[in-house]
């Protein structure tokens, strides 16, 4: 079978009872992460702008789906777009291999489809798990090469996750899921030049709207074609430059990926479990610099005034954002330390042993940085390495008395079960528009989501104040 047919059979045949317990647990966790991010963004300009835009565009239309936090009613596509933009604005995303953020696309599509369908929590969780698995398997080896061709891997691959979530919730059969994936190939998009030249690019919000269109086309019988992913003129040829698996860049320096292995172990070996949580509102690779450095300093009772300098050995791709082919001049080793840079977050971990959960990647109005952070970041050196795992820096702190201490990040520090996710993300409660008691109810609803009859309506309702 073609890749899209294998995925179609997997998605259509997947049941809640066949999901491993850790997969169910992770589906609950990513749901809580996305909803929390939308709540953080409840008053941010990007979310307000998206809602105003859709209300104007859809004036006179039927409101069948609900916008998070506001309770406004829009079409499925309109609500999914606004919800995506709000989740994105909040900065509390999940992350897969540095440059894709599956939940920003998958959860808005799943919520819109499940609300309209009145889906149970079991159906919702099954769709979320299927969507993550398909998207991440498609993206895994190809993210750096896709980025090197000027595309943004987030929306390019996110459309497939969003479509699979909606297709599963709408109970499309294997043929129809195959067709939806095929139409996603026609609708996938996302470009890097906007963010490199001072703009704000349309990302997963556009992918979600297009995903719902792809599902509608498939549901109404539009044929998809047989080898739309791996064919000579298919998806991988277009976005990766060839359909043979040859890679221009990779995280590991391997220059080839076996396309035939994308579906190997499907339903048995869950790549979804590699998804990690970005609790600090900064580029994903920076979160490890905060926590690994903080843990090192706590372990050895190191204080700011004792530190001479810090070295961080990191995966080389983390210093070439968003791609070695198109690096942003203000990022990476060459740019040097500045507010919002990786050395800044390393210094935060060392000087304060953490980072404020409700802040962006730099001070907002009325906020300031501790002078210790601004001083110490200028004594942090990044050392790129092909051999380092993603999000797993080796931090070495050199003290003024000549001693030095090191700690190795594993890249798995931000892969948690639901209870740890709830504990970590729950610290945003003080800055939300809903009460702490209501946020606790939201956490508990996610925790026992398999028992909820109308999952999406319940979840969405708990994000609306009062």
- Give the model's confidence band at 453: pLDDT under 50 very low, under 70 low, under 90 confident, else very high: very high
* Model pLDDT, residue 332: 73
pLDDT 10s digits, 349-396? 999 999 999 999 999 889 999 999 999 999 999 999 998 999 999 999
**What are the structural domain ranges in the chain?**
3-277, 284-408
CATH number of 284-408: 3.30.1330.120
* Average predicted confidence (pLDDT) for the chain: 95
Topology given in CATH for the domain delimited by 3-277: 2-methylcitrate dehydratase PrpD (1.10.4100)
Matching residue, tokens 């044929």 = 223
The neighbour count for residue 219, using CB atoms within 10 Å, is 17
Q: Are 162 and 108 in contact (CB under 8 A)?
A: yes
* pLDDT tens profile 184-197: 999 999 999 988 88
Summarised one tens digit per residue, pLDDT across range 21-30 is: 999 999 999 9
């Amino acid at each position: 079978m073609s890749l899209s047919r294998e995925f179609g059979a997997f998605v259509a045949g997947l049941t809640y009872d066949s999901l491993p317990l850790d997969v169910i647990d992770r589906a609950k966790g990513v749901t809580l992460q996305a909803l929390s991010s939308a709540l953080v963004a409840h008053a941010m300009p990007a979310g307000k702008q998206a809602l105003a835009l859709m209300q104007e565009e859809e004036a006179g239309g039927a409101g069948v789906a609900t916008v998070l936090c506001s309770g406004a009613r829009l079409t499925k596509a309109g609500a999914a777009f606004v919800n995506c933009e709000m989740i994105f604005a909040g900065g509390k995303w999940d992350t897969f291999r540095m440059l894709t953020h599956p939940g920003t696309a998958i959860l808005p599509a799943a919520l819109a489809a499940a609300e309209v369908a009145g889906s149970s929590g079991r159906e919702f969780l099954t769709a979320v798990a299927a969507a993550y698995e398909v998207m991440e398997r498609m993206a895994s080896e190809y993210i750096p090469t896709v980025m090197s061709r000027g595309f943004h891997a987030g929306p390019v691959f996110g459309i497939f996750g969003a479509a699979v979530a909606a297709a599963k919730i709408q109970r499309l059969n294997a043929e129809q899921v195959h067709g939806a994936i095929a139409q996603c190939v026609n609708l996938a998009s996302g470009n890097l030049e906007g963010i490199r030249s001072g703009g704000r690019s349309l990302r997963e919000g556009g992918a979600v709207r297009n995903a719902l269109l792809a599902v509608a086309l498939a549901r109404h019988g539009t044929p998809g074609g047989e080898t739309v992913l791996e064919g000579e003129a298919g998806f991988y040829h277009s976005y990766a430059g060839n359909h043979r698996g040859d890679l221009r860049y990779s995280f590991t320096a391997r220059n080839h990926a076996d396309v035939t292995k994308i579906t190997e172990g499907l339903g048995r070996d869950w790549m979804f479990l590699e998804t990690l949580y970005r609790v600090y509102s900064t580029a994903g690779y920076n979160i490890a610099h905060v926590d690994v450095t903080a843990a090192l300093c706590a372990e050895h009772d190191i204080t700011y005034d004792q530190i001479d300098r810090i070295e961080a050995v990191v995966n080389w791709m983390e210093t070439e954002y968003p791609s070695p082919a198109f690096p942003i001049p203000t990022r990476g080793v060459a740019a040097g330390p500045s507010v919002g840079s990786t050395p800044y977050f390393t210094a935060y971990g060392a000087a304060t042993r953490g980072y404020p959960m409700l802040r962006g990647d730099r001070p907002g109005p009325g906020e300031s940085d501790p002078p210790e952070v601004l001083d110490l970041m200028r004594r942090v050196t990044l050392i790129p390495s092909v051999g380092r795992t993603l999000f797993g820096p080796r931090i070495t702190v050199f003290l003024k008395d000549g001693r030095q201490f090191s700690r190795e990040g594993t890249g798995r520090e931000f892969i948690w079960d639901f209870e740890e996710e709830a504990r970590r993300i729950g610290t945003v409660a003080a800055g939300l528009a809903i009460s702490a008691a209501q946020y606790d109810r939201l956490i508990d609803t996610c925790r026992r989501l398999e028992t909820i009859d109308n999952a999406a309506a319940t979840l969405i309702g708990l994000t609306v104040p009062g």
